[in-house]
Amino acid sequence: MAGHPGNPEPLSPRAKLAVTAGKAAAAVSRAAGRGSGSVIGGRVALKLDPELLGRLAQHLDVVLVSATNGKTTTTRLIAEALRASGPVVSNALGANMPAGITSALAGGSDAKYGVIEVDEKYLAGVARDVAPKAIALLNLSRDQLDRAAETRMLAEKWREGLSGTKAVVIANADDPLVVWAASSSANVVWVAAGQEWKDDAWSCPACGGVMQRPGDDWFCGECGFRRPAPSWALSGDHVLDPHGSAWPIHLQLPGRANRANAATSAAVAAVFGVPPQVALERMYQVQAVAGRYDVVSFQGRDLRLLLAKNPAGWLETFSLIDPPPTPVILSVNARGADGTDTSWLWDVDYTRLAGHPIVVIGDRRLDLAVRLEVAGLDFRVCETVDEAVQLSPPGRIELIANYTAFQDVRRRVGN
Amino acid sequence: MSDSSLRLVWVYPDLLSTYGDQGNALVVERRARQRGLDVQRVDVRSDQPIPTSGDIYLIGGGEDRPQRLAAERLRRDGGLNRAAENGAIIFSVCAGYQILGHEFINDLGEREPGLGLLDVVSTRGEGARCVGDVLADIDPRLGLPQLTGFENHQGVTHLGPTARPFARTVFGNGNGTGDGTEGAFNETVFGTYMHGPVMARNPQIADLLLKLALDVNALPPTDDRWYEALRSERIAAASQPA
């Protein structure tokens, strides 16, 4: 990269050197067959110039996207919407910590917008470094409890980190933890994006009181902390804008959670002057994100690949799969990137799969087997995805897997 | 038992159900039904009174602030102590285990009184968090096979004279005291640091609670092959840490 032509403040020699060194490291990493190299490249660059991330971002209108679930997809939807108004740089492959973000921004010298997915734990720091114009907060729920911070503490960190931000915060009014985190910001656009999973917000993030949740509403019975009035809303397969107009959502991606992501993305696009109609039309372009939701042909069968990493994700996934007797294959691992504790399987209501023929695979198929046995479901246990597919009765197969199990399946089915 | 049905009380799922420990309630319920027992499961939220007529009470793990809130509300409510006086069987995990003791360190770094149902005192460890698979030998008086579980805590729990160690660790930390103890129990109250959840990996603990609650020596057999397969795998895994 040779600086930012046309930008008022070109990168300093140090920043340029850092970007070049980072790209060299990435190229070496790629040549060694160790992934895209974006993370190692970013790491090298940040070491040479710790303020590089902020410097790279200062020429961009930046949107940050964070959440427990839906970050990658929403980042794609927003990027697609904003392309209506100018070139976009984005960490579309989900490298969402500072090094990966730095690397992604370094590759977008001509961009007008930066649409950046940020890991929940790094949001406050990245928001400080890149002075974003907008921050989208989708949801917070339990995830990898063996190593991640407590869920409510994450909300607290967001709240502290975002207080005083100049960004417009676009936040989910239906998630009490997100509302708590966002309400320290001066300028919040509330979106009624819904959230099926409720089990991380039964106690009030403000005072610890017991949350009351009649219908779609919620409030704390003790301190008065309550659901803010949303200006945007997801309503079935439409987005309601602040003027009350309903815009149809057309996505190639399935499920309520993705319609919620589209509603939030439309609200973000509006901050940048892209009208909801234009934004939503463009979102139709977004296909499978990093293999998620992809339908692949394998052994003469159609397999839909669904990623679900935590209880909230599994719940949303159950609501989008085809009804029985569609066969379902479940795969769970507990390697480093998954979290090494499988206890969370017991927070997932597997009785929702009643009526589906079920096959379980993955490193931790025996944990799943006991879980399903106790849920009173019929299931079979297989060693491999090949065997599981052969055992599944006819019809398209829904395959639901957690993080590394999903990567294993993708590798095997050639996706 | 209070009447013809077994009352299973799941205490404060709004505060203490963060680490999959509701699996313990599911396993106890399932194994009771498999024996033809009529089970009434009662989930009690922390703004509701704890019923005092339950047969088995289960309490799970939770994060630091919910743990303090749970202790405050349980002390104020008093129902769990009355249930214990009535001879109810109480089984607790992690944060719930600490609450049943005399005191623990709360999220504010202060000493928080517990319910005094177990003769234990918990503090916070100085070192790294204890995270990983555990293998332990359960007190032979209980007649149970080896304990397998997953621990994820920073607590250190010291046992007083009227509490016995639930198990002796073979691998892992357990009570974190360095003396190889894991959990604690007396006649009717049990505590452990084991998640997994612990009953999924050790269904015979669920059976022990049922036998104590029903005052019987044996239960009809169940088909435990998946539990057994999981147990073998996890016991092998604990013996060969990654």
A291: left (phi over 0), alpha (psi -120 to 50) or beta: left
> Does residue A303 share a domain with residue A157?
no
**Which pLDDT tens digit goes with each residue over B188-232?**
999 999 999 999 999 999 999 999 999 999 999 999 999 999 999
Taking an 8 Å cut-off on Cβ atoms, the answer to whether B19 and A341 are in contact is yes
- Compute the nearest-CA separation of A201 from chain B (Å): 8
Other beta carbons within 10 angstroms of residue A21's beta carbon come to 16
Of A283, A303, A334, the residue that ends a domain is A283
A228 with A182, same domain: the answer is yes
Q: Distance (Å) from the C-alpha of residue A370 to the closest C-alpha of chain B? A: 6
Mutate to test the interface with B, among A343, A360, A365, A382 (most CBs of B within 10 A): A343
Asked, for residue A268, whether it belongs to a domain, the answer is yes
Instruction: Produce one character per residue of B55-79: b if its CB has 16 or more CB atoms within 10 Å, e if not.
Output: bbbbbbbbbbbbbbbbbebbbebeb
Q: Is A386 helix (H, G, I), strand (E, B) or coil?
A: helix
Q: Does A349 touch chain B (CB under 8 A)?
A: no
Strands B147-153 and B130-138: antiparallel
Of A262, A283, A304, the residue at which a domain comes to its end is: A283
CATH code of A393's domain? 3.90.190.20
Question: Which chain B residue shows the shortest CA-CA distance from A372?
Answer: B226
Rounded-to-integer distance, Cα A173 and Cα A154, Å: 17
Of B82, B73, B5, the residue nearest B42 (C-alpha)? B5
Asked if B152 lies within 8 A of A341 by C-beta distance, the reply is: yes
Helical segments of A224-322, H only: 256-271, 276-283, 311-318
Output the domain CATH number for residue B90. 3.40.50.880
> Does residue A184 sit in the same domain as residue A44?
yes
Which residue from B13, B19, B66 is facing A145, i.e. has the nearest CB?
A: B19
The stretch B77-83 carries a mean pLDDT of: 98
Residues of A in contact with B67 (CB under 8 A): none
Query: For residue B1, is it within any domain?
Result: no
Which of B19, B27, B73, B232 to mutate: most A Cβ within 10 Å?
A: B19
The token pair that represents A142 in the structure block: 């339990």
A382 annotated as ligand-binding: no
Q: Can you give the pLDDT at residue B69?
A: 96
Q: Which of A200, A332, A346 to mutate to test the interface with B (most CBs of B within 10 A)?
A: A346
In this structure, what DSSP letter does residue B142 have?
G
Quick check: B18 and A146 CB within 8 A? no
Note whether A251 and A364 are same-domain residues.
Answer: no
Nearest to A128 by CA among A138, A137, A118: A118
Which of chain B's residues have a Cβ under 8 Å away from the Cβ of A151? 63
Q: Residue A195 falls within a domain, yes or no?
A: yes
Any A CB within 8 A of B26 CB: yes
Report the alpha-carbon distance of residue B160 to residue A26 in Å, rounded: 58
**Nearest 5°: CA angle at A25, between A22 and A29?**
135
Domain, as residue range, for A190: 13-283
Question: Which residues of chain B neighbour A152 with C-beta distances below 8 Å?
Answer: 63, 65
Q: Which residues of B are annotated binding-site positions for substrate?
A: 129
Do A264 and A337 reside in the same domain of the chain? no
Q: What is the pLDDT of residue B241?
A: 58
The number of folded domains in chain A is 2
Residues A276 and A299 in one domain: no
Quick: pLDDT tens for B108-165. 999 999 999 999 999 999 888 899 999 999 999 999 999 999 999 999 999 999 999 9
Q: Let me know if residue B45 belongs to a domain.
A: yes
Provide the angle, in degrees to the nearest 10, between the axes of the packed helices A71-82 and A276-283.
Answer: 120
> Quick check: is B195 catalytic?
yes
Based on the fold, state whether residues A308 and A241 are members of the same structural domain.
Answer: no
* Average pLDDT along chain B: 95
Residues A25 and A111 in one domain: yes
B20 has pLDDT over 80: yes
**Residue A155 has what pLDDT?**
95
Q: Could you report the predicted ipTM of this complex, rounded to two decimals? A: 0.96
Please give the structure tokens belonging to residue A404: 């590394």
| Residue contact B226–A147, C-beta within 8 A | no
User: Angle of helix A123-130 relative to helix A98-106, nearest 10 degrees?
Assistant: 30
On whether both A347 and A249 belong to a single domain, the answer is no
The single residue of A217, A302, A341, A378 carrying the catalytic annotation is: A341
Cα distances from A304 to residues A298, A325, A348, A354, in angstroms, run: 10, 15, 20, 19
Q: What's the angle, vertex CA A191, arms to CA A185 and CA A197, rounded to 5?
A: 100
Query: Is residue A408 one of the residues assigned to a domain?
Result: yes
Q: Which domain holds residue B176?
A: 6-239
| Rounded CA separation A37/A44 (Å) | 11
Instruction: Indicate the number of domains in chain B.
Output: 1
CA proximity to A399, closest of A372, A371, A345, A362: A362
Q: Is residue A247 part of a domain?
A: yes
In a domain, A114, yes or no: yes
Q: What is the CATH number of the domain that holds A164?
A: 3.40.1190.10
Pick from A146, A203, A370: which is nearest to B131 by CB? A146
Question: Considering CB atoms only, which of B23, B26, B27 is closest to A343?
Answer: B23
Neighbouring C-beta atoms of residue B171, cutoff 10 Å: 17
CB A179 within 8 A of CB A227: yes
What is the C-alpha to C-alpha distance for residues A349 and A309, in angstroms, rounded to an integer? 14
Whole-number pLDDT of residue A289: 79
Domain boundary among A256, A283, A310: A283
> How many angstroms separate the CA atoms of A270 and A259, rounded?
17
In a domain, A4, yes or no: no
Closest in A202, A347, A369 to B20, CB measured: A347
Cβ-Cβ pairs closer than 8 A, A with B, add up to: 95
pLDDT value, residue A44: 73
Ramachandran angles phi, psi of A50, nearest 5°? -60, -20
Confirm whether A290 is domain-assigned: no
> Would you say residue A386 lies in a domain?
yes
Written as tens digits, the pLDDT of chain A (415 aa) is 333 333 445 677 677 767 776 776 666 666 555 556 667 777 777 776 778 888 888 889 999 999 999 999 999 999 999 999 999 999 877 788 888 898 888 887 789 999 999 999 999 999 999 999 999 999 999 987 766 668 888 999 999 999 999 999 999 999 999 999 999 999 999 999 999 999 888 999 999 999 999 999 999 989 999 999 999 999 999 999 999 999 999 999 999 999 999 999 999 999 999 999 999 999 999 987 778 899 999 999 999 999 999 999 999 999 999 999 999 999 999 999 999 999 999 999 999 999 999 999 999 999 999 999 999 999 999 999 999 999 999 889 999 999 999 999 999 998 7
Q: What is the pLDDT of residue B221?
A: 97
Asked if B233 lies within 8 A of A366 by C-beta distance, the reply is yes
> Are β-strands A301-307 and A397-401 bridged in parallel, bridged antiparallel, or unpaired?
parallel
Beta-bridge partners for A335: none
Which pLDDT score is estimated for A41? 73
H or E element at residue B28: helix B22-34
Contacting residues of B for A376, CB less than 8 Å apart: 30
Query: Are A233 and A153 in the same domain?
Result: yes
Does residue A229 share a domain with residue A339?
Answer: no
Longest CA pairwise span in chain A (Å): 65
Q: Are A375 and A325 in the same domain? A: yes
Residue B138 lies in a domain: yes
3-state secondary structure labels for all residues of A28-53: HHHHCCCCCCHHHHHHHHHHHCCCHH
